[in-house]
Structure 1
Amino acid sequence: MLLKNLSKRFHFISSSNFELRKIVSKTILFLVSLVLLTSCKKTNWSENFREKEKSPFGTYIAYKEATNLFKNEKVILLKENFYDYLFTNYETKRADFGNYIIIKNNANKLPADGINDLLAFVSDGNTAFLALNYFNEDLKEKLEITTNNLDEDKFGVIDLISMKGEFYLNDKKFENQPFTFDRNIRRHYFITYNENNTLVLGTTKIDGEKVPNFLKIYHGKGAIYVHTNPVVFTNYFLLKNKETYSSHLLSYLPSSTLFWDPHTKYSKYSKQREDDRQSVFKFFLQHETLTWFLFVSLAGLLLFLFFNAKRKQRVIPIINPLENTTVAFTQTISSLYLKEQNHKNLVDKKIVYFLEKVRTKYLLDTSNLNKAFIANLAAKSGNEMHQTKYLINSIITLHKKSECTQEELLVLHKMIHTFLKK
């Protein structure tokens, strides 16, 4: 379209104005090249779980389709840490305040006191949905769960591309119906949980055994849903007709406002966050003796720098590393043999090398190359008896000859090389 418009605009230029037409042609060529270069973008295959990312493992589709799944309900993308949102907006206990959902690699930006507030939020009658690759220790302790991630050390695209998975839902509607996923499925599952307040809603098959990967944990008046594979909510699988599984997972949430956590910001109000931000210098300034120690140390450091500013470091001489002449020596020796064409000499050296290798590697006496020696050598080296016998007979024959051809040298080299590879 761009090329058509440019062509129409400059069609009126007369044929006599050759220079102008030349400039126009170069301009069009430049614009075409620019469009082609800027339009070629490399696909991002990393697991980013970002709501605005349209790459394979972003969650753009899941976030946008949440409005269809929760009709007539608000879907709020949090612009602050969830703990901070509750701190400023959740003043009274409300059972219908909403559903909290996080689909990420981990929930490390939710502080320990933030987890307590999240549980209090659920206890009031609200719901939380956590789909994470990694559950931190605070979260697992508060939820009374333990997990096992057999692939926790695998992050690269090459490692994850071959990881397939098979999931099951305990709903009678999907009884014994497997949901298969062809990549990026970590072997992550729940080991233990409190059976008094936990319901297993889904499983994954690992080494032929079904183990829980989707739980509903009752807490107070509400419930927390936890899933071990957030990748099932990414664009890649939703575009591969796998939306039945992910939509059924979210369908357990009640119809209410959905607080979608992008998990991009740390808390501003968390006590834990305040403790992390506390400066070391602030601690020193709180005590008079430490304050004087700090000032004296800084003054001493400044004086040291002042009096040593003019001191110059001695020039370090350049010491050239020793030259490696191994390659040059090898080239010289090979040139001599190539010039002399003394194949018999090389054959003898190959035989000496082979027999020495046999003595050191297989601990055999090579003074008498008889049938017993051949049998022992074949047994210890793992080579066939007829191959070993042919090699030893060839060595004996070539050793007795006064002259050898280039072809005999090459055949002996290949035989020895093949024999020692076993």
Structure 2
Amino acid sequence: MILQHLKKYAPLLLLFLLIGCHKTDWSENFKEKEKSPFGNYIIYNEAETLFKNKQVTLLKQNIYDYLMLESVIDSVEIKNYVSIKHNGFKYTNGSTRELLDFVAKGNNVFLAFNNFRDTLKSSLKFTTNNLDKDVYDVKGLKKLEGTFELNNKSFSKTSFSFDRNIRRNYFLQYNENTTSILGTFAVDGEKVPNFVKIHYGEGAFYLHTQPIAFTNYYLLNGKEEYAANVFSYLPNADVIWDPQIKSSKYEDKKEDDNNVFKFFLEHPTLTWFLFVSLIGLLLFMLFNARRKQRPIPIIKPLQNSTVEFTQTIANLYLKEQDHKNLVDKKIAYFLEKVRSKYLLDTSNLNADFIEKLASKSGNDLQRTKYLVNTIIALNKKTECLEEELIVLHKMIENFLNK
């Protein structure tokens, strides 16, 4: 029956042939209103035929809002939920949980994605492997081809060849107790699952890793039977068809605030673009800040005025000609040096003191005795001459520098 309905879309195929390749939009948009090669216009408009005239509703709100507000989960009537898109990243954790509850009540979900959300993978315990995840350009995708097989022998035809945009994307790990393999395709000579049924509660998830197989291009190129066979696994019930174009108005999205960055990090080219942009922004801020920084004033360190102070005091004594005062200070300085450096008692400058000082200072006994006797003699005087001051100064300097 679907073959007869597709005849009305034959002019579209002719239109694709007449329009030059340079003008044809070969992007994988998966939009239900798009008549371009990789749009979902035909599959959506033929959904009622595929499901034997059951009601097909194009969802105009987020699935989370629809399931919560319409009380679909609590409905007794079984429903099918269908979404065919490039990836399932628009599902939040909340909408994923609602879908799981929806299926657990006995409903069915059909998802055809190149990439499934991690929350769904962990909940249904499966992983995927996409060997062509880094291929994005039209020329590269055009070279990707493959042959799909359905495992149901009751179908008149079970093998279908696809000539372009077939990524080597398949289910890698899954729970064999809850998972049935419905379809496979060959990757490097080995048949791997690309279409599975995962039982969950009273319902089931039907997951497909090649959404491109259900686009306008293949339905107009002899692959309509494959799409009809795939959808025949779903019960004949009303369909909720989700184009995933709306964000939730009611769900708290704090847990999904990093979705944009997650999308960038899952694609190497976009990851490099993000890193280069951030580095460029940091460099711009750094150099821009340096150019506009105010000059830092030079603060001169405090000068040590001890030498100037000493010279001033010395000049004062010289001007006053108070040589005795200077002699007393020189003697006091020398004796303090002896006490701190040689640890000798200077209260009694006797012969024993002279021997100990000569021994510890390394000076000969005669020089030490002459210096000490000079100090004793000058201490007894009330006045001193300039020559005596100079001699004492030289004797002390020579003694300490030994």
With the shorter chain as reference, the TM-score category is 0.5 to 0.7
Give per-residue Cα distances to partners, 1:341-378, cap 9 Å, x unaligned. xxxxxxxxxxxxxxxxxxxxxxxxxxxxxxxxxxxxxx
On the 8 A contact 2:57/2:241 being kept in 1, the answer is: yes
Q: Name 2:346's counterpart in structure 1.
A: none
Pairing partner for 1:169 from 150, 166, 175 = 150
Does the 8 Å CA contact 1:104/1:230 hold for their aligned counterparts? Answer: yes
Partner of 1:240: 221
Give 1:56 deviation, angstroms: 0.2
Once the two structures are superposed, residues 231-268 of structure 1 have per-residue CA deviations (whole angstroms, 9 ceiling, x without a partner) of: 00000000001111111111111111111110112222
Inter-CA distance 275–132: structure 2 relative to 1 (3 Å threshold)? closer
- For 2:233 and 2:226, the matched residues in 1 are separated by 12
* Partner residue of 1:267 out of 238, 248, 260: 248
- Does residue 250 (structure 1) correspond to residue 231 (structure 2)? The answer is yes
Paired residues of 1:110 and 1:267 also in contact (CA < 8 A): no
Alpha-carbon distance between aligned partners in 2 of 1:169 and 1:189, rounded to the nearest angstrom = 14
Secondary structure of 2:225's counterpart equals: helix
Gaps of 5+ in 2: 1-18, 259-291, 295-402
2-structure distance, mates of 1:189, 1:68: 29
Q: Structure 2: how far apart are the matches of 1:203 and 1:174?
A: 15
**CA shift at 1:42, angstroms?**
2.0
Cα pair distance change 1:213/1:95, threshold 3 Å = farther
Structure 1 CA distance for aligned equivalents of residues 140 and 257 of structure 2: 35
Instruction: Map 1:96-175 onto structure 2 (within 5 A).
Output: 96-174=77-155
Aligned pair partner of 2:51 in 49, 59, 70: 70
Q: Distance in 2 between matches of 1:92 and 1:163?
A: 40
Structure 2 distance, partners of 1:251, 1:123, is 21
Matched, 1:44 2:25: yes
Q: What RMSD over aligned residues (CA atoms) do the two structures have, in Å?
A: 2.5
Query: Given residue 229 of structure 2, which amino acid in structure 1 is its aligned partner?
Result: H
Contact 2:152 2:158 in 1 (8 A): no
Taking a change above 3 Å as real, the CA distance of residues 176 and 234 of structure 1, as seen in their structure-2 partners, is closer
Separation in 1, partners of 2:25, 2:54? 32
Q: C-alpha distance in 1, partners of 2:153/2:34?
A: 35
- Shift in Å at residue 113 of structure 1? 1.5
Instruction: Name the CA distance, whole Å, in 2 between partners of 1:56 and 1:200.
Output: 29
Partner Cα distance (2:88, 2:73) in 1: 25
Distance 2:238 2:156 in 1: 30
CA distance in 1, matches of 2:293, 2:176: 72
Distance in 2 between the 1:190 and 1:275 partners?
A: 25
User: Structure 1 residues 273 and 72 mapped into 2: Cα distance closer, same or farther (>3 Å)?
Assistant: farther
Contact 2:151–2:158 (8 Å) recurs in 1: no
Residue 173 of structure 1 deviates from its aligned partner by 2.4
Say if 2:178 is the partner of 1:197.
yes
CA deviation string 1:263-300 (max 9, x = no partner):
112222222358749xxxxxxxxxxxxxxxxxxxxxxx
Give the fraction of aligned pairs with identical amino acids, expressed as a percent.
Answer: 52
Q: Does 1:178 align with 2:147?
A: no
Q: 2: distance between equivalents of 1:232 and 1:165? A: 11
2:16 is equivalent to residue 58 of structure 1: no
In 2, the alpha carbon distance for the partners of 1:272 and 1:213 equals 31
Kindly indicate whether the alpha-carbon contact (under 8 Å) linking 1:111 and 1:273 is maintained by their aligned counterparts in 2.
Answer: no
The one of 68, 77, 82 equivalent to 2:63 is 82
Runs of 5+ consecutive residues of structure 1 not aligned to the other structure: 1-38, 278-310, 314-422
Counterparts of 2:156 and 2:23, CA distance in 1: 41
- Which contiguous aligned blocks of 4+ residues in structure 1 show a shift greater than 3 angstroms? 174-177, 273-277
Q: State how many pairs are aligned.
A: 244
The answer to whether the 8 Å contact 1:109/1:267 transfers is no
Question: What's the CA shift for 1:87?
Answer: 1.2
Q: Which amino acid in the other structure matches residue 75 of structure 1? A: V
Q: Does structure 1 retain, via aligned residues, the 8 Å contact 2:148–2:186?
A: yes
1:2-13 equivalences under 5 Å are none
Please tell me whether residue 220 in structure 1 is matched to residue 228 in structure 2: no
Work out which of the two has the higher radius of gyration on C-alpha atoms and give 1 or 2. Answer: 2
Q: Please tell me the residue identity of whatever aligns with 2:224.
A: E
| Contact 1:51 1:58 (8 Å CA) reproduced | yes
Contact kept in structure 1, 2:130 and 2:168, CA below 8 Å: yes
Decide whether the 8 Å contact of 2:114 with 2:210 is kept in 1. yes
Q: Would the alpha carbon gap of residues 264 and 91 (structure 1) be closer, same or farther in structure 2, given more than 3 Å must change?
A: closer
Q: Which amino acid aligns with 1:200?
A: I
Letter in 1 for 2:39: G
Q: 2:48 touches 2:55 (CA, 8 Å); kept in 1? A: yes
What is the CA–CA distance in structure 2 between the aligned matches of 1:92 and 1:224, rounded to whole Å?
A: 15
Q: Residue 51 of structure 1 contacts residue 262 of structure 1 at CA under 8 Å; is this kept in 2? A: yes
> Any idea what SS the aligned residue of 2:113 has?
strand
**What per-residue deviation string (whole Å, max 9, x for no partner) do you get for residues 283-321 of structure 1?**
xxxxxxxxxxxxxxxxxxxxxxxxxxxx999xxxxxxxx
Contact 1:146 1:191 in 2 (8 A): yes
**What's the secondary structure of 2:74's corresponding residue?**
coil
